[in-house]
Amino acid sequence: MTVTVINAGLLTTVQDLGRPGHAHLGVPRSGALDQPAHRLANRLVGNPATAATLETTVLGCAVRVDRAVTVAVAGAPCSVRVDGRPAAWAAPVRLPAEALLEVGPATRGVRSYVAFAGGIAAAPVLGSRSTDLLSGLGPAPLTPGEALPLGEPVGPAAGADVVPAPAPPDPLLLPVLFGPRDDWFTARSLAVLTGPGYRVSPTSNRIGLRLDGPPLERAREGELPSEGMVLGAVQVPPDGRPVVFLADHPTTGGYPVIGVIPSSALPAVAQAAPGTPVRFTPRGRR
């Protein structure tokens, strides 16, 4: 059973829960950026959360299936069409054999998740089918004409009575725990980071959320020896504009990390469109 790509949109990748546990070998964790949306799409078609979905970027995608299969689209709200006819978003949709599934551009947010009963069965690499755009592990981003294998459905489609359409983050509120290298920055810079003026840069991607806004000033010169990086790290490169590390982030880095965004705040980052105002709010540890 295969899915043939008709239109790959701006960027469509295969994603599951990623390949954590290999950071010491230089392997990014990768995986769906909006994990709750990925999990919801899988649940709606009866898949376990570990099944691979398609992650679209802004423009959606179009695919044709060779056999009848149940699909669901979650994440960024968008139009869903089957052979040109409107179908439900965030609900199981039965596709007949040879049907064309069109996932429209995101009406809000950035990334939609398309789950097929049985999951995308691309060859796993280090236990994951996720496309890792930093190191090139996993399947390459989708291209038109490409055929992706589907797995065997394992459970009945779950369905849902009501799935609330998520509001786009506006502003994007990011709790930040300062450290481990906040002492590399001036006290004024810590205030600047938590002040107004930051917006999501259009250069953001799966590696990091880049920000336009006031540059942060260092309190010290010199270079930091390369050190391990975590998901959600707010790294500050020499231009002073912070970058929030997302799933495909490098495992080590030599620029100081001024603070870390808890992972619970990162699904919203996945849906923050360029230009969205960003507000960092200091948060303490228990």
Binding another protein (rule: CB under 8 A), the pick from 92, 250, 256, 267 is: 250
- What whole-number distance in Å separates Cα of residue 286 and Cα of residue 284? 7
Q: Of residues 1-20, which lie at the interface with another protein (CB under 8 A)?
A: 20
Query: Counting contacts by CB under 8 A, is residue 242 touching another protein?
Result: no
Cis preceding-peptide flag for 171 (omega within 30 of 0): yes
- Nearest to another protein of 113, 245 (CB atom): 245
**Rounded to the nearest whole angstrom, what is the least distance from the CB of residue 132 to another protein in the complex?**
9
Neighbours of 212 (CB within 10 A): 16
Contacts of 267 (CB under 8 A, 6+ apart): 33, 34, 35, 36, 37
C-alpha–C-alpha distance, residues 72 and 54, integer Å: 11
Give the nearest distance from C-beta 157 to another protein in angstroms.
32
CB of 262 to another protein, least distance (A): 5
- State the Cα–Cα distance between residues 251 and 103, nearest whole angstrom: 33
Task: Please say which residue, 6 or 125, places its beta carbon nearer to another protein.
Answer: 125
Which is closer to another protein, CB of 75 or CB of 253? 253
Q: Does 179 help bind another protein (rule: CB under 8 A)? A: yes
The residue within the footprint of another protein, chosen from 82, 137, 209, 273 (CB under 8 A), is: 137
Least distance from another protein to the Cβ atom of residue 182, Å: 10
CB 247 within 8 A of CB 205: no
Q: Are 261 and 234 in contact (CB under 8 A)?
A: yes
Q: Considering CB under 8 A, how many residues would be counted as binding another protein?
A: 32
Contact 258, 182 (CB under 8 A): yes
Return the bridge partners of 15, or none: 53
198 to 227: interface string for another protein, x by CB under 8 A: ---------------------------xxx
Site for another protein in 21-80 (CB under 8 A): 21-27
Binding test (CB under 8 A) with another protein, winner from 8, 110, 216, 233: 233
Distance separating alpha carbons of residues 237 and 240, to the nearest angstrom: 6
What letter does residue 219 receive in the DSSP assignment?
S
Phi and psi, residue 41, nearest 5°: -60, -45
Q: List residues binding another protein (CB under 8 A).
A: 20-27, 125-126, 135, 137, 177, 179-180, 225-230, 232-233, 250-252, 257, 260-263, 285
